[in-house]
Amino acid sequence: MNINKVAEQIALLRKTKGLTQNELGDRVGVSFQAVSKWENDLSMPDTENMIRLADILDTDIEYLSFGRRNMGRRPPVVLETVNTIEIEK
């Protein structure tokens, strides 16, 4: 992962979404200072926070890390298993 690219992408996507560092931090569950450090190349988000950032910023980890988009939209995250039932005809 290129830390400079991550910092650039977080800042760009945050601003595109119209979020402040404080608002993004609240959504991720970190302080605005942590967001500021990420955006200024002083630290990197951990894996869990990268996943949260990708979700909040409506992107994927590859774009956050390298500035490249995957072909097509990222697959949805499955939060629950849905049981299927057979309907009598």
Q: What is the pLDDT of residues 54-68, one digit of tens each?
A: 999 999 888 888 877
Q: What is the DSSP string of 4-30?
A: HHHHHHHHHHHHHTT--HHHHHHHHTS
| DSSP tally for the chain: helices H, then strands E | 5, 0
Asked if pLDDT for residue 19 goes beyond 70, the answer is yes
Rounded to an integer, the average pLDDT of 70-84 is 55
Look at phi and psi of residue 16 and say left if phi exceeds 0, alpha if psi is from -120 to 50, else beta. Answer: alpha
Compute how many other C-beta atoms are within 10 angstroms of the C-beta atom of residue 10: 21
* pTM given for the model: 0.71
Per-residue pLDDT at 75: 54
Asked if pLDDT for residue 83 goes beyond 90, the answer is no
Structure tokens that stand for 46 in this block: 């951990």
> What's the pLDDT tens digit per position in 21-73?
999 999 999 999 999 999 998 999 999 999 999 999 999 888 888 877 655 55
